[in-house]
């Protein structure tokens, strides 16, 4: 397993652990919102990678 795969597994494990005390519907809503936030973070990471610091400076 690669380092990236390990990181993904750690994140998923932590998320599942954090929501285990909630019912199924609440788990779904929380994990969907986390997914949305992570997609935004991924988009930001790509913007910084390809557009450089101007993206970071614009967010402040």
Task: Kindly compute the dihedral angle of the four CA atoms of residues 31, 12, 49, 51, in this order, to the nearest 10 degrees.
Answer: 0
- Domain with 23 in it: 3-58
C-alpha–C-alpha distance, residues 10 and 20, integer Å:
15
| 43 pLDDT more than 70 | yes
C-alpha–C-alpha distance, residues 50 and 30, integer Å:
30
Q: Based on the structure, what is the number of domains in the chain?
A: 1
- Predicted TM-score (pTM) of the model is 0.76
Residue-wise pLDDT tens digits, 1-42: 799 999 999 999 999 999 999 999 999 999 999 999 999 999
Distances (CA, A) of 15 to 2, 28, 56: 20, 11, 27
Nearest to 17 by CA among 3, 1, 2, 34: 34
């Amino acid at each position: 397993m690669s380092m990236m795969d390990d990181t993904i597994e750690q994140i998923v494990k932590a998320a599942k652990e954090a929501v285990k005390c909630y019912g199924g519907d609440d788990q779904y809503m929380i994990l969907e919102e986390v997914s949305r936030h992570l997609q935004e973070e991924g988009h930001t990471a790509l913007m910084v990678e390809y557009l450089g610091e101007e993206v970071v400076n614009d967010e402040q």
